[in-house]
Structure formats: structure tokens, C-alpha cells
Chain A
Amino acid sequence: MEEFDHEVDAPRGATSREWEVFVREDTADPLTHVGSVSAPSADIAREQAASLFARTAVTLWLCPADETHRYQTDAATLGTGKAGDDATMSVDEMESETLRGENR
């Protein structure tokens, strides 16, 4: 029996809180995960999701992505590696590296 011992715990949500969206298109259908929307509150998430899925869905569930624990049987799809890996410039480095046409 699989243990679901691989957790995908990297954050989701680029500009505000992320909400996982589930819909059912008919009362006899299973609830289906259809992605996520970015919104600062559940009410706004509901509006966002409704604008995308209300045409066909009869049921809408929203779960905050940061409260959703994601487990899978296999190791992470993209392998491992600390997010960021210090690959990105610091703010000071960006400032000092930015060209402004000084040597043109």
C-alpha cells in the first residue's frame, strides 16, 4: 500500500492568496479539480471562479491553497532542490548592475 509520503509544500499564489477550485457539472458527477484562482478573499475568489465556470458548473468548492496539503506516492515531479537556491540577485546587486547608458 502506498504511503503518500511525498508532500508538495511549495507555495502557490503569485500576487495574493491562491484558492484551489473544484466544480461539479451535474449533481451525478464527481467533484473535479479545475485549477486555482488568485484572490485576496473567499468572496472575491468565488467571483473569479464563477466568471470562469458558472456557465457549466452546478457546484463550486474553494479551498485555500496554503491550507491544502498535497501528497503523492512518487517523489516530487520536478525532483528536488531548495526553491531559489540563492540563484537570484540581491536588491543591491540589481541596483549596481543596472545599465543606464553610462558607457555608450
Chain B
Amino acid sequence: MISVSKLLCDLDAEGDGLRYDAANESTKRQIRDEKQRRPVVVWNVTKQCNLYCDHCYAAADTEIADGELSTAEGKALLDDLTDYGAPVVLFSGGEPLVRQDLEELVAYANEVGVRPVLSTNGTLITEERAQSLKDAGLKYAGVSVDGLPERNDDFRGVDGAFEGAVQGIENCLNAGLKTGLRYTITERNAADLEGVVDLLTDVGVDRFCFYHLDYGGRGTEIVDADLTPEDRRQAVKRVCDMTREYHDRGEEIETLLVGNYADAAYLVEYAREHMSEAQAQRVYEYLRVNGGDPTGERVADVDYQGNVHLTQFWQGYSLGNVRDRSFGAIWEDESNPLLTALRNREEHLTGKCADCRYAEVCRGGSRLRALTVEDDLFAPDPQCYLEDEEIHGSPPFDTGESSMAGESSAD
């Protein structure tokens, strides 16, 4: 995750300590006050969903699937994650609210000390469930909306899904739950981006996460609907411009880009072109500490059957199953050559990634997209939209002892 509002507008947020080792300089209470060493864990509590979205990475369906972790097993998993030191568990699906024990699991996560957050389509968040989730200790709800009403409903396969999601968002906000938007940008909905933000800021939302399409689950079936490199660059520029415009007029929205670390390099280039060289260096230092694509390191996924994945999007391969072995044992097992290679990917990247000057802040982007499109785990990410002149040459800034990030870590 790359916080545009933090990097371009200095907006403090609770995730700064996780993302940039910047807890010391933030005025917001932090999720962690030291650099993240354990992964944020996405837990798909169910494969079942009340909608049928075109781009669902979990290939969710309306029918319940065999082998869901029970309530008791789920609590044992949360104990396991706590013992390992996972800072955050993201309850996801399918649609997690179809599980009627969700509040019990959220409360248990809160009790044992792993921060519970939620990814949902919003359409099952009645007033009662918003309140019960708040009472259970849920810290954040991210609600997926993928365009203005007509386009969103087409994407999600159900008429009224947009209005239902907004109703769910309002119920969360009325219950006092921190709530944000999740928006997967594709060719089909890129035009709606600013319109959705305008509409939802009026409702009271102040956090907006923009996802690039990853090529997992049903996402592989709509690769053709993905943005061209030129359109992707424009969409990211529009997120940057929009964020600064909101902040310039005193509306401090939080905006984040997720799933494509070419964005890290682009943000440096953007700051250099539209702000100042000093700002560009500052952005670069933050992103260098952030460490680029988190696959297999700072993010993990446990699916509804307990299979552990390298990210939530990479459902076709599992490292192991938490019914057989603890999560920590699976995640630490570097006898697995794939895990080791991914954690040392700089040594293996090929093509333009091999000598890219932004390798330190990007780390080659999505290995899953490279695998899906090129059938080569270490080929360049097909979604990279950087121009040749931007990526050739030595690293854009000296990252010696005097760097801001280094000073921050030493404090």
C-alpha cells in the first residue's frame, strides 16, 4: 500500500508505522511503532458471497463451499497469528458478513491482540450488524465500490448493489466505525473515479484505496479489461492530482494505491515534476523504507479452508495448511525454494526490472501478473507503465547514512 496523501500532502494516518517506519513523526495513534516484521494476514473466512463480481480473486460463489474453518478453528488460528506477531488480520471472503459468527471472531481477535479490520461489499451491513461489529471491536471497514451506480452494479452482478453498499457505509459511519472505500481500477470504471470519491466524501467517507487489478481468480478472465499502460499512468496521476486538490481546499482525505509498485517510482517522478526535488527525495526515502512489493513477506493470506497463500490474489498455489502446521511454521519455512527466491527476488528479476533504477522501491511489482501473462516468475510486471528514460541509470537519490529514514530508525 502506498499512501498518496502521506507522501504528497503529509497526512498522518494510523498505518504510517506499518508502511514507512514513520510512527515517531506521526501525530496519529499507530498500529505499530516499529517497522513491520510480520505480515498483515488476510483471512478469507468464507468463499460464499451474496454478489458475483467479475474480478473476484477468490472466485466466490453463492453456495457454501466445503471445509470452511469452524468458529473454534478460527479462534485457534487467531491465537496462532497472535503468537507469531501478525499485527493485523483482515477479515475477507467471499463476503465475510455471510458468516454469522463474524462478530464473535472479530471480538476474539481484539481480545487476543491482533487488530481486526474488514473487507466487505457492504451490502449486508445493516444498522444492527454495523453496531455489533463496532461493539465487537472492529477497527476499520473497507467497502468495495467499483464505479458509479450503473457500472458498479454491472461489475457486481446485482442491481442495487451500489445503493446497498452506500447504505452499508452510512450504517458503519453512524455506528462510529472508521470506514473507507476499496476501488479496483479497470478500463471499464476508470472514468468514474473522481465521481465516486465526490459522492462518498459527501456521505462522510475520508479514506480511499485504489487497487490495480491482480490476475488471480476471476481477475484472470478480465485481463483484457485492464488498463493500458498509458491509461494506468493517467489514472494514477488523477489520484495524485485529486488528492492534492482536496487537501488544498482543506479536505484531508486519505488516499492509497495498492497492488502495483510502479506507482512508487511514479510518485517520485510526480513529486519531482509537480512539487520539488526535495519532496521527490522525501517520497523516495519513505518508499525505500516501505520496501516495495510485499508478496510473501509483509502480506499473507489464509483461505477459508486454511490454505496459506503468498498474497490474497495468488490462490492457485498454497504454501501449506494451518490445519496441518502453525501459520508461523509455514511462513518461516525457507526450505521452500519458491519462498526463498521471492524473498530474494532482486537476484532473479529479468528484463527491464533487472537494472531498473527504482528496483529498491518497487522490487519488480507483481510476480503473480508476470507469471500469469509471461509464464515467467521473474519477468517484468506487465502492468509496469514507467517510461524507459525514467528507469535507466543509477538510483535517483543517494541513500546513505544521512537519509531521513535512517535518522528516523535510529531515534
Contacts and interface: CB of A to CB of B under 8 A. Distances in A.
Contacts of A79: 72-73, 76
A97 B164 CA distance: 10
B215 to A, nearest CB: 13
A3 B68 CA distance: 27
Chain B: interface size category: 35 or more
A27 to B, nearest CB: 15
Interface string B376-409: 1100000000000000000000000000000000
Interface string B62-85: 111111111111001100100000
Nearest to A89: B98
Chain A: interface size category: 35 or more
B162 A101 contact: yes
A-B interface, 9 closest residue pairs, ranked by CB to CB distance from nearest: A101-B163, A100-B160, A81-B70, A81-B72, A99-B164, A78-B76, A11-B67, A78-B73, A94-B50
A48 interface: yes
B317 A12 contact: no
Contacts, number: 180
B65 A85 contact: no
B323 A36 contact: no
Given A34-B336, A51-B375, A98 B69 contact: no
B311 interface: no
A91 B100 CA distance: 13
A39 to B, nearest CB: 8
Interface string B39-72: 0000000111010000000110011111111111
Contacts of A33: 320
12 contacts: A11-B67, A35-B319, A48-B316, A53-B337, A56-B337, A70-B324, A77-B80, A78-B306, A79-B76, A88-B100, A97-B126, A104-B170
Interface string B139-159: 000000000000000000011
